[in-house]
Chains A and B, each alone.
Chain A
Amino acid sequence: MANAKRIRDKKKPFEYSKKWSLRSVFFLATLFLYVPIVVLIIFSFNNSRRGGNVIWKGFTTKYYGKAFNNDDLMLAFGNTLTIAVVATVVSVILGTCTAILLWRFRFPFKPLVEGLVSLPIVIPEICMGVSLALFFSAIGWLGNTSDIWPFNLINVTIAHITFCFPFAAMVIRARLHSFNREMEEAARDLGATEYQVFKDILIPHLKPGLVAGALLSFTLSLDDFIVTFFTSGPNTVTLPVKIYSMVRFSVTPEINAASTVVIALTLVLTVFALRFQSKDNTQLQ
């Protein structure tokens, strides 16, 4: 009996969750990652004039109302969403084309092209911001492309596409690797033209990759600060840039409220995308 008990107490090879050292790492990681976000959300409902004030003064939703009535904040929010949507659509299209080009064709200097495509992923964002700002000012687009919304957002949008599309291309290319070329040949054999193969066979296969690429592009664009800061003008401020300038002035619960809305939006999108993808994966088994 005593022997049997000792065996049961012994840790099994993969029972890492029973090790105290690993448990504390997990606990600390969770703490530093999520507690600030939870605090931010809780204090967006704090009935206090100062957002930086961590003293609970009662529940209120008035700062959400205030945030929604703040025209500057709402303009920034609208800009952010517009830029994110346009950058996502363009990035996914460009990314798909790039991925197919690199997967399907052989051409001179292919390794060089592959390197150039993934360069924006590794270049420090500050360098990209500075270089894009210099580029736009050189062609006279910085701050005064157009006075009519949303055409004034064009340079920020282009800047966002430059760093979003390599990520989309990477995700879509990874998905392409699992494509069975016999599917394409089978469709051709059954009478499909090249375009019909692309539309009926390749795109449905790529769908999970397209969704993942779109989600990645959207979130990257949504919360980008550095590149936007360098390329936006006074009328083309995005939410991250606006919040930054508001924080420098004073921290109010309005900022907490605006941030909470952004967090909620990203969460909803992520859940939606994950559910869509898991449904798709069962189909592709």
Chain B
Amino acid sequence: MTDKAIVSIRELSKYFGRVAALNEVSFDIKAGEIFALLGPSGCGKSTLLRILSGFETPSSGELLLDGKDLIPLKPNKRPINMVFQSYAVFPHMSVEENVAYGLKVEGIAKAEIKTRVAQSLKQVHLDEFGARKPHQLSGGQRQRVALARVLVKKPRLLLLDEPLSALDAKLRDAMRLELVKLQEAVGITFVIVTHDQSEAMAIADRIAVLNEGRLRQVATPSQLYQRPVDAFVADFVGTIHSFAVVSSTQQGKDFVVGTQELGNITVPAAAVAHGIYQLDELVGNSVVAVRPEHINVTATQPANSEVTLLGKLGDIAFQGQHSVVEIMLDNRPSLTAIASNADAQALHESGHGSTVWAHWDTANMLLLPNDASDAGAVE
């Protein structure tokens, strides 16, 4: 992977009437990477994908591919191809005809089409299925046809719209790995749209998180998880328990923030999200948060933990490698903690509703603004 930008998106906006589907979004996609557009439904990720493919025209902003303006080009003139969510495999054509279609309309010689189609079908392990009609294929095989059909065009950019959402759980896991391997083999830049954070984390080299038409963060999966820019991103990429900040002071480099449930907490400077508000703006606009895997649960009072919360034992969910323990609190939604199966079993024996302590170290806490994109604004 090089660091060269293949796609540059600059202050791109798209309005439908007066509603902004995209609001001044800017970022780069690097050549040869798998880039994921992640966000809840209605966040603008599909609009962005349709702008990239040419089916929507942005209201303002720049869109460059290899430094050249892409906006005036019609969808059929762009070196960008897309795997649609419904796969959109042509039902009246055989698998081979489907894959050949993009080359046929390009006017490529028949002999070359034949070799390229065969090569492409081999790449997706469908070389035995060339003569079949789409209705004779399974959903997973139809998706492979859609993939072969775009790979054969050798595009600069390959777009995938929710590629795994229609597959069953087991096939989805297999296809995740296969997509990554395929991308490595062909070296084409992939852009994947998804609402499933675990899918994006598993596949992508980098992820752009979008919400309500605005870009929240572009980062690698581990950065996104460990160093989210705000509470929305932190919550969207995985479970996090947050506590509203009600007071704030600074001690040297560290922040001391007060919360109703936990009292005063000293947050080390390293755990403060980049671009946070001024100290006097923290109250009401930010939270301190902790992920379930950092919370310990014990039936006896812990000897030396920095943060301690007294609660009652709730449900215990067995998850295979570990268990998820619920801790019910009096005045706020319950917490969840990840515990080893042995610890969970010991807690289970003390009984539902028994008193337990949830405790963790402040080093594992994050101080996050509610919304980094309007930091400083009053809600």
Contacts and interface: CB of A to CB of B under 8 A. Distances in A.
The finding on whether chains A and B are genuine partners in a shared complex, rather than unrelated, reads yes
A196 B90 CA distance: 14
B75 A185 contact: yes
B320 to A, nearest CB: 37
A78 B84 CA distance: 52
B84 A193 contact: no
B153 interface: yes
B133 interface: yes
B83 to A, nearest CB: 9
Contacts of B102: 190-191
Contacts, number: 73
Contact of A191 (B90, B91, B92, B105): B105
A65 B81 CA distance: 65
A180 B88 contact: yes
Contacts of A205: 91-92
Given A180-B86, A182-B86, A190 B135 contact: no
A189 B92 contact: no
B296 interface: no
A188 B76 contact: yes
Interface string B74-95: 1111001110111010111000
Given A180-B88, A183-B88, A189 B53 contact: yes
A85 interface: no
B306 interface: no
Interface string B216-233: 000000000000000000
A182 B84 contact: yes
Which of A190, A196, A283 has the most CB atoms of chain B within a 10 A radius of its CB? A190
A185 B92 CA distance: 16
B91 A189 contact: no
A188 B75 contact: yes
A101 interface: no
B76 to A, nearest CB: 5
B55 interface: yes
B50 to A, nearest CB: 9
Contacts of A21: none
Which of A183, A189, A285 has the most CB atoms of chain B within a 10 A radius of its CB? A189
B90 A192 contact: no
B172 to A, nearest CB: 21
Contacts of B133: 283
Interface string A110-140: 0000000000000000000000000000000
A191 B135 contact: no
Contact of B153 (A191, A196, A204, A283): A191
Contacts of A182: 84-86, 88
A282 interface: yes
A188 B90 CA distance: 13
Contacts of A185: 53, 55, 75, 82, 84, 88
A190 B92 CA distance: 17
Contacts of B85: 182
Nearest to A188: B75
Contacts of A285: 91, 135
A42 B331 CA distance: 91
Interface string B91-105: 110000000011001
B106 interface: yes
A90 interface: no
A284 B92 contact: yes
Interface string A182-211: 110111111111001000110011010000
Interface of B: 53-55, 74-77, 80-82, 84-86, 88, 90-92, 101-102, 105-106, 133, 135, 146, 149-150, 153
By Cβ-Cβ distance, the 9 closest A-B pairs, closest first, are A190-B102, A186-B88, A182-B88, A204-B92, A285-B135, A192-B105, A182-B84, A188-B75, A191-B105
10 contacts: A182-B84, A183-B88, A185-B82, A185-B88, A186-B84, A190-B105, A191-B102, A192-B105, A200-B101, A285-B135
Given A190-B149, A283-B133, A284-B135, 16 more contacts: A180-B88, A182-B88, A183-B88, A186-B82, A186-B88, A188-B76, A189-B53, A189-B81, A190-B81, A190-B153, A204-B90, A205-B91, A282-B135, A283-B91, A283-B92, A285-B91
